[in-house]
Amino acid sequence: MEIVILPDPEQVQKLAAKIVKAQVTQEPNLVLGCATGSTMEGFYAELLRHGAILDGVTTFNLDEYLGLDAYHPCSYAAFMQEHFFRHTAIPPQRRHLLDGKTDDVSRHCAAYEEQIRAVGGIDLQLLGIGRDGHIAFNEPGSSLASRTRLKILTPLTRESNARHFPPGWEVPKYVLTMGIGTILEAHRCLLLAFGESKAEAIAAAVEGPLSADCPASALQFHQRTTVIIDGAAAQKLRRAEYYRTVYENKPNWMRRELEGE
């Protein structure tokens, strides 16, 4: 795991956008794993501002609320449309999202896994992290080998996500999500986080024991994960100073490898 600590959320989003743009430039047919949520909003805006040519990209989203269709304003499909897809030329047939209205969850999830396999896997997976350490919607206790399936959200996640729903609307309890095993097969992962509310989850993910109690800690097993966070999210890292030193003293060739330039 590589940990990059930057002064503020804007710089986190800028560096992530720079990395994605560089990788898309090198691999125009990149398979991009997409995340949603507050962390990703500014990132997509930044990526679009960087002028990345995305026409050849294929996308797979991490998760979706069960019961919400693509036109529901709080669905992740609607989020992607609003913050990313409508600003790109990625053809609809290459945008893959889990269907919140499926009437056969098991078959739909297995077919999603098959679609990922059919394109040769995910090249670059974007990730946020929940306050309880979830990645995608793999809540604490999720199998570290899990595949795409139905999960039930914790009360903490439903409470956190209530800010994306109009007052009085219920956050769905059931979701569809890629599994941790699915995510670990991505060739590269980029996890972004900022703000004090993520500090505990980041410390558990990066320095805690590898445990289903913090699903993001499974990334310790991934061979190419970069965690880009701001100072507030880094507050509880015991080795924050060391990570800063490593980043500042990177030889140029290693920096190029990280940033893809």
For residues 108 and 131, which CB has a smaller minimum distance to ligand F6R in the complex? Answer: 131
Gap between the Cα atoms of 214 and 228, Å rounded: 18
Site string for ligand F6R, 131-150 (x = CB under 6 A): ---xxx--------------
Instruction: Choose the stretch contacting ligand F6R; rule: CB under 6 A; options: 52-60, 124-132, 165-173, 234-242.
Output: 124-132
Mapped onto helix, strand or coil, the DSSP state of residue 118 is helix
Write the DSSP string, 208-239. Answer: S-S-TTSGGGGGGG-SSEEEEEEHHHHTT-TT
Site string for ligand F6R, 39-78 (x = CB under 6 A): x----------------------xx------------x--
User: Catalytic: 82?
Assistant: no
**How near is the Cβ of 93 to ligand F6R at its closest, in Å?**
21
Q: Are 54 and 74 in contact (CB under 8 A)?
A: no
Burial class (CB in 10 A: 0-12, 13-18, 19+), 35: buried
Gap between the Cα atoms of 120 and 54, Å rounded: 18
**How near is the Cβ of 237 to ligand F6R at its closest, in Å?**
18
Q: Are 181 and 160 in contact (CB under 8 A)?
A: no
Identity (one letter) of the amino acid at 62?
L
By the rule CB under 6 A, 37 interacts with ligand F6R: yes
Gap between the Cα atoms of 45 and 77, Å rounded: 17
Size of the site for ligand F6R (CB under 6 A): 14
User: Catalytic: 139?
Assistant: yes
Gap between the Cα atoms of 202 and 193, Å rounded: 8
By the rule CB under 6 A, 81 interacts with ligand F6R: no
**How near is the Cβ of 79 to ligand F6R at its closest, in Å?**
8
Instruction: Choose the stretch contacting ligand F6R; rule: CB under 6 A; options: 31-39, 80-88, 144-152, 238-246.
Output: 31-39
For residues 35 and 258, which CB has a smaller minimum distance to ligand F6R in the complex? Answer: 35
**How near is the Cβ of 38 to ligand F6R at its closest, in Å?**
4
Is beta strand 31-34 parallel, antiparallel or unpaired with respect to 95-96?
A: unpaired
Q: Are 174 and 100 in contact (CB under 8 A)?
A: no
User: Catalytic: 134?
Assistant: yes
Site string for ligand F6R, 196-215 (x = CB under 6 A): --------------------
Mapped onto helix, strand or coil, the DSSP state of residue 138 is strand
- Point out the residues that are catalytic: 63, 132, 134, 139
Given the rule CB under 6 A, which residues bind ligand F6R?
35-39, 62-63, 76, 128-130, 134-136
